[in-house]
């Protein structure tokens, strides 16, 4: 069944990528779709990417429940055995402001309906501006797919990078909307996210004279940069049932990375926490390339982590 999960996941990401390229070429990717399940305003890039993923699982007749940002919950069959967490296009606020802003689909799959983060078997994302797909399979590593529209696409295994010692020059991405271009009123709760990240990370790191801080609107794009070695850490937020961290966790785990959340004033590795329950209320989240970098960042922030 793992092979079926991987095949369905990769095909779903490819179909979402092709939709994003088509909409981008037509200049309509950041137009409103006037649809959506949640309080966010759905763009065509959001809605139609999710449609592509859902249709792929329908074609596979896969016994899965999809929890998606725009479509809500969809059971492909009665009594599904698996769960997929789907964000059609992560980074909508920046996409609305700039149709070439980085971002993409985020998809993760677990083999039960109430998974912990370590239960997720497959995780992947599209990087449509760079014509690549990044995915990981539990215990098998992370992979980049290039030349997706060509007959002989290229698949490369992501090498685990040997990072420099962590310090004030270490490259770090921040999910802080005060630092990046975005359209107002697209993503609900963006002000709350910004305050959480600014208080927990931006201000403390600036006080510690970190000199290599950058910001993006898309967790997908920031995770891509972390996995392939462009940054050492990503600082953002986690919440109960939020769509991005499950994909990030699968990808990071396969390149020796990890993630740490802060709930009830305690920092801890999130692997054994349940996706549907952990992170309430909105809480800070650190994603790191490896535990040594995590400890270094935590030390600079003057916080203690639960072992």
User: What is the reported pLDDT for 303?
Assistant: 54
The per-residue pLDDT for range 234-287, each reduced to its tens digit, is 999 999 999 999 999 999 999 999 999 988 888 899 999 999 999 978 999 999
User: What is the reported pLDDT for 42?
Assistant: 87
Query: CA 193 to CA 295: how far, in whole Å?
Result: 24
Query: CA 58 to CA 134: how far, in whole Å?
Result: 23
* Mean pLDDT, the chain, integer: 92
DSSP type of residue 255:
T
152 in the same domain as 208: no
CATH number at residue 294: 3.40.190.80
Final residue of a domain: which of 157, 189, 222?
Answer: 157
Identify which has the larger pLDDT, 126 or 305.
Answer: 126
Final residue of a domain: which of 157, 186, 212?
Answer: 157
246 in the same domain as 103: no
16 in the same domain as 88: yes
Query: CA 157 to CA 165: how far, in whole Å?
Result: 24
- Total number of domains in the chain: 2
140 in the same domain as 188: no
Is pLDDT of 37 > 70? no
153 in the same domain as 176: no
pTM surpassing 0.85?
yes
Query: CA 110 to CA 137: how far, in whole Å?
Result: 11
DSSP type of residue 200:
I
Domain-embedded: residue 163: no
Strands 233-238 and 213-215, how do they pair? unpaired
92 in the same domain as 192: no
Final residue of a domain: which of 124, 157, 190?
Answer: 157
Domain-embedded: residue 166: no
140 in the same domain as 93: yes
User: What is the reported pLDDT for 306?
Assistant: 47
Cβ contact 197:179 at 8 Å: no
* Average pLDDT, integer, range 173-190: 85
**Distances in Å between the alpha carbon of 56 and those of 17, 42, 49, 60, 303?**
13, 21, 11, 6, 44
Sequence-separated (6 or more) residues with CB below 8 Å from residue 116: 271, 272, 273, 274, 275
The per-residue pLDDT for range 188-215, each reduced to its tens digit, is 788 899 999 999 999 999 998 999 999 9
186 in the same domain as 114: no
222 in the same domain as 286: yes
Domain-embedded: residue 299: yes
CATH number at residue 128: 3.30.540.10
Domain-embedded: residue 164: no
At residue 38 the predicted structure's pLDDT band, cuts being 50, 70 and 90, is low
101 in the same domain as 11: yes
180 in the same domain as 143: no
Cβ contact 82:110 at 8 Å: yes
Residues of the domain holding 53: 2-157
69 in the same domain as 33: yes
Domain-embedded: residue 294: yes
């Amino acid at each position: 069944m793992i092979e079926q999960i991987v095949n369905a996941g990769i095909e779903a990401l490819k179909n979402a990528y092709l939709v994003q390229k088509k909409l981008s070429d037509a200049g309509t990717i950041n137009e409103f779709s006037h649809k959506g399940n949640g309080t966010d305003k759905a763009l065509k890039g959001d809605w139609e990417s999710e449609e592509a993923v859902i249709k792929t699982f329908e074609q596979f007749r896969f016994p899965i429940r999809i929890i998606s940002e725009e479509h809500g919950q969809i059971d492909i069959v009665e009594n599904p055995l698996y769960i997929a967490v789907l964000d059609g296009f992560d980074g909508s606020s920046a996409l609305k402001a700039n149709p070439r802003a980085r971002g993409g689909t985020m998809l993760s799959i677990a083999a039960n309906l109430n998974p912990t983060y370590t239960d997720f078997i497959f995780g992947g994302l599209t990087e449509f501006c760079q014509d690549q797909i990044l995915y990981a399979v539990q215990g098998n590593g992370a992979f980049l797919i290039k030349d997706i529209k060509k007959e002989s696409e290229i698949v490369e295994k992501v090498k685990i990078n040997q990072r420099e010692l962590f310090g004030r020059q270490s490259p770090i991405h921040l999910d802080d909307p005060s630092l990046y271009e975005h359209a107002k009123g697209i993503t609900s709760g963006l002000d709350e996210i910004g305050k959480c990240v600014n208080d927990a990370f931006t201000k403390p790191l600036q006080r510690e004279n970190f000199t290599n801080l950058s910001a993006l609107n898309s967790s997908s794009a920031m995770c891509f940069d972390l996995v392939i070695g462009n940054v050492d850490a990503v600082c953002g937020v986690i919440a109960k049932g939020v769509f991005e961290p499950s994909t990030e966790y699968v990808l990071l785990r396969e390149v020796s990375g990890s993630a740490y959340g802060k709930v009830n004033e305690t920092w801890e590795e999130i692997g054994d926490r349940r996706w549907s329950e952990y992170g309430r209320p909105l809480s800070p989240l650190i994603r790191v390339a490896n535990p040594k970098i995590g400890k270094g960042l935590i030390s600079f922030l003057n916080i203690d982590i639960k072992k």
